[in-house]
Every structure is written in structure tokens, then in C-alpha cells.
Amino acid sequence: MDLSRLFGNKSQRQAADPETRPDGRVRLPPGQYLTRNWPVLSYESTPRFDAETYRFKVWGQVAEPFELTWAELQALPRTVLTADFHCVTTWSRYDNQWEGVHIREIIERTRPLDSVRYVVAHSWTGYTTNMPLADLNDDDVMIVFSHDNAPLKPEHGGPVRLIVPKLYAYKSAKWLSGLEFLASDLPGFWEVRGYHNHADPWEEERYW
């Protein structure tokens, strides 16, 4: 009898549901549960988007501050990436397929000065969220326009949001309008209201 058909062999199990990540951490961070649907969490109501007036701004302590129109932002090189998403309210959603502009496309163009340690992501609603430059400047961080092969829905931050998979999702600003590079830290919307300043899911950095 072929037991692997009953239980699956190890490599098949890992392919279907890997329990550890390449960095050795468990896939599901402590205290999280897995959901297959995608909850909406916004403090503000879903804003309208105007492609004519939209600008993506990059400023602060950078060699080249810049401003892109919607068409210019759309025209940057595109990347597709699959990543897990972890909300501080304890749901996690695996294998989200994101398409958009890799963060390094922005960082290479703006060239943060050596003094930069932090970045604030801004939404056109006024929402902000802060993180160390080192957490933003990572292989899996993107400015995305689509999710699982469909345009990003307005309530999920469409048509453009930030995705920082390795931190709790409040760092993934919806309705992204810009990035501000700073030498010192500037806590954002939730960070001044009791959410942890750093938000590493594997350290359960949820609240103060």
C-alpha cells in the first residue's frame, strides 16, 4: 500500500502548505488564524480616486524628490509577487498575488540620503504609517495595483496601495499618495493610537 497517497509525502505537504518560511520562521505568526476571504479594515470611508489630479509624491531627505502623475506611476516597471498578509486583529491571508511597482524602483530613483532611517507612507485620505527604511527597502515590498489577477478594489486601497508583507497590515497604507523619507521617526495614524510602532507579527508587536 502506498502510504504517501494517504498522508502525502513530505515534499508534497510542504508544497501545499509550507510550515516554515525561507528565513526559518513559522509561516503563521503566533496568535494569528488563517482566513480565506479578505476582510476590509479602514478607519476612514473609501475615498474617491481622480486620475487627473492624482500625484504620487516622494520627498524628505532624498537626493531627488519627485512627483509622478497617475500615468507616470503606471508606466514604471511592473513586478508580480506572492505574499502572506497579517492583520493585527489576528487574521492572516496566505498567497496573495500582488502586481505593481517594486519599492526599489522608487528608492533607486529618489536616492535617500545617508541620514535617512525612517519612512512615512501617506494616503490621500490623510492616513499615515511609519516604518524603518530597512523594513521598506525589502525584497517583498511593493506599490500594488492588482490583487489575485484583478484590479485592487477601492475598499482594499484601490487603485493603489503599499504592501509590506513582513509587518502587520496597518503598515500597508491604502490609497497611497506618497512616501516621506526622514532621519528621525514620526509615528503614524495607528501608531499614535496604541498600535505598536514596529509591528513585527512574529514578535507579536501588536499594541504598546
Ligand X SMILES: Nc1nc2c(c(=O)[nH]1)N[C@H]1C(S)=C(S)[C@@H](COP(=O)(O)O)O[C@H]1N2
- Write the interaction track for Mo ion spanning residues 74-93; mark x where CB under 5 A is met and - where it is not: -------------xx-----
Contacts of 14 (CB under 8 A, 6+ apart): none
Q: Does 145 bind ligand X (CB under 6 A)?
A: no
Sign, Cα dihedral of 190, 192, 197, 201: negative
Using CB under 6 A as the criterion, what x/- string covers residues 146-185 for binding ligand X? ----------xx-----------xx-xxxx----------
Q: Could you say whether residue 170 binds Mo ion (CB under 5 A)? A: yes
| Residue 176 touching Mo ion (CB under 5 A) | no
Burial class for 127, CB neighbours closer than 10 Å (0-12, 13-18, 19+): buried
Between CA 142 and CA 175, with CA 182 as vertex, the angle to 5 degrees is: 40
Vertex 105, ends 102 and 110: CA angle to 5°? 135
Cell of 34: 488563517
For residue 86, state whether it binds ligand X (rule: CB under 6 A).
no
Closer by beta carbon to ligand X, 62 or else 164? 164
Q: Which residues contribute to the site for ligand X (CB under 6 A)?
A: 38-44, 87, 123, 125, 127, 156-157, 169-170, 172-175
Q: Which residues contribute to the site for Mo ion (CB under 5 A)?
A: 41, 87-88, 169-170
